[in-house]
Amino acid sequence: MLRSYSSWLLGFLTLVGLSSSVESARAQTTYKFDATYDASSALFYPITENITARTISGSSNNAPFGLTKASGLLYVQTDLSSASYRFSSNPETFGLLSLPLGGVTLFGEGNNKLFYEVENGTGVVDLTNLTTTGTNINNITGGQGLFQGATGTLNGFEIYQVGNLLVDTTSPSRGSVRISGAISVLTTQKVPEPNTTAALTGIGIIVATFLLWRKHYINASN
């Protein structure tokens, strides 16, 4: 009977030892993102003959995580001789110093926000149909809510109608932008860690109990 009790007590104290120490562990969660935004790009101010700062905005009806709106600032360099253009959120890409860093924020009605910088944006101008088509890489720089501390890379694909710019260069051009990729977020999780001290204490109690039982058994036999 005492042996059965001792086995149970040892198991109980071992469990106590395992659960009595809780430590934090970092785990990475990856969220897939794919959304299309009805976008608008407007002249913010001209910088040189072929470089402008442009504001962008957009809305989406299929964006996940409540990120249904977009707003940002980009720098665009146009070369009509080659019917091409480049764009970036970093003015230093075009050798421009002392200008504010641009970027894009995705947000919505909730608390979630996602921030990213636009890099390596290139595009072509279709002078016949008066459209532009471009692609770019977006480097995530953080966020809020679900995306606090987020990192990762998103790919961008854009199509704009630019015929209206022939009439008024200050009018906004409209089109669509698709953003897709993966968002990585480090989260903190609580995990139990074995507590050696508690486990050894439990074993010590069992040994002491066994010795007392043995002494009692020997005395009773004599």
> pLDDT means per 10 residues in the chain (222 residues)?
46 45 74 98 96 98 97 97 97 96 96 96 96 98 97 98 92 97 84 53 52 55 55
Q: Are 54 and 42 in contact (CB under 8 A)?
A: yes
**Do 202 and 164 belong together in one domain?**
no
**Do 35 and 73 belong together in one domain?**
yes
What is the reported pLDDT for 205? 52
- Specify the number of domains making up the chain: 2
**Do 169 and 217 belong together in one domain?**
no
**Do 185 and 208 belong together in one domain?**
no
What is the reported pLDDT for 16? 44
**Do 117 and 201 belong together in one domain?**
no
**Do 216 and 144 belong together in one domain?**
no
Q: How many residues does the chain have?
A: 222
Its domain, for residue 170, covers 27-189
**Do 125 and 147 belong together in one domain?**
yes
**Do 163 and 69 belong together in one domain?**
yes
Pairing of strands 173-193, 21-46: antiparallel
**Do 118 and 156 belong together in one domain?**
yes
What is the reported pLDDT for 219? 58
**CATH number, domain containing residue 133:** 2.40.480
**Do 208 and 128 belong together in one domain?**
no
What is the reported pLDDT for 169? 86
What is the reported pLDDT for 132? 98
**Do 101 and 207 belong together in one domain?**
no
**Do 72 and 88 belong together in one domain?**
yes
